[in-house]
Amino acid sequence: SRGLPPPAPPTILDPPPVRSSIARSSRAPHEPFLSDAPPPADSWIAVETSPGEYRLIARLPGFRRDAITLAARRRRVLHVVADSWEPDGGHFERRISFGYDADLGRVRAEFDGEILRVIVPRRTPALTWYGEACE
């Protein structure tokens, strides 16, 4: 009996490097669109797995709902970006890589002002039978 290998578990990829203010000042005489401030010290992200879905839980204190963006990239990476220009705000950015069973076209999310909950449904792989036909 041949089957598909199990999907790769979700992986939280390293955040992009912080842009230096020296490099920024030599490129453009204006403020950047995204905040260069680090994320709040008490922000974090975790991934939980169940048979039917992946659940991402991110603590984003000080961020507003309209400043959080979720984007699917290359159909296997979910990009979470949050920006706050408040005095104790910052820039939070994480990429989460999923296996072949994640359905990033049906992602659902909710934000209560501190905790972002993201549900990524899992696809059930289609079964293919390679055995002999029964008569």
Indicate whether 54 pLDDT > 90: yes
How far is it, in rounded angstroms, from Cα 95 to Cα 81?
Answer: 9
What's the 3-state SS for 56-116?
EEEECCCCCHHHEEEEEECCCEEEEEEECCCCCCCEEEEEEECCCCECHHHCEEEECCCEE
Averaged pLDDT for residues 112-133? 81
Indicate whether 112 pLDDT > 90: yes
70-101: pLDDT as tens digits: 999 877 999 999 998 887 778 999 999 999 99
Residue 1 pLDDT class (50, 70, 90 cuts): very low
Token pair of 115, please?
A: 């905790």
Token pair of 113, please?
A: 């002002």
What is the structure's pLDDT at 87? 77
